[in-house]
Amino acid sequence: MLVYLFLVAGLYSLLHFIWEGIIAPSMRQSIRIDLFALRDELRRLKISEPDMPMEAFNAVQDGLNSTICHLNGIDVPFLVYCDKMVDRDPKLKECVEKRQELVRSANSPALVKIAGQIRLKVEAAARTNSGGLYLYLVPIVLGYLCLKWTCSPIFTMLYIPSWQLEKIMPESDMELSPA
């Protein structure tokens, strides 16, 4: 049993290394390159639309720069934590809503599109950075589903009347000795 445990732990460490050491950094690099391209597109948009409000441009550019800077730390628990912090702090919530309204009221569909693409990249970064967590959650979920699948018939059997259970049970050739 200990050998199996050791083999499973070794397999998990290998899979974790492959994800965190090879796959995730490549995916993060691709996301980072896409974010730099979005920043270039945003700056070209500001040049081509000079009447775009500077506050709206700065709000999107600040969010984009923050995403690039903190790309390695963006994961699902961090996004949930940020959402809770915004809900708890009225000043922060007001600031976020004000910046969202600035972008919406800028009358620039291209600016709104860029903000939406940034959101998609943040989602991709969260999925990528949380990938190691999924590696450990999958067996737990599979175990839960297996347990649920196993326990459901057990609970059914517990509530079958004994006279019905005797009809259902197969005949046994084995006789039990009295205790």
What integer pLDDT is reported at residue 85 of this predicted model? Answer: 94
Q: Percent of the chain beyond pLDDT 90?
A: 63
Query: How many angstroms separate the CA atoms of 176 and 146, rounded?
Result: 32
| Residue 87 pLDDT level (bands cut at 50, 70, 90) | very high
Say yes or no to pLDDT of 49 above 70: yes
User: In sequence order, what E strands does the chain have?
Assistant: none
SS3 49: coil
What integer pLDDT is reported at residue 149 of this predicted model? Answer: 81
What integer pLDDT is reported at residue 167 of this predicted model? Answer: 76
What average pLDDT is seen over the chain?
89
Query: How many angstroms separate the CA atoms of 26 and 29, rounded?
Result: 5
Query: How many angstroms separate the CA atoms of 49 and 110, rounded?
Result: 10
pLDDT in tens, 130-141: 988 888 888 888
Spell out the domain ranges in the chain: 2-129, 138-167
pLDDT in tens, 50-85: 999 999 999 999 999 999 999 999 999 999 999 999
Q: Count Cα atoms within 13 angstroms, Cβ side, for 91.
A: 0
Query: What would the two tokens of residue 163 be?
Result: 């006279």
Residue at 40: amino acid letter: D
What integer pLDDT is reported at residue 145 of this predicted model? Answer: 87
What integer pLDDT is reported at residue 2 of this predicted model? Answer: 86
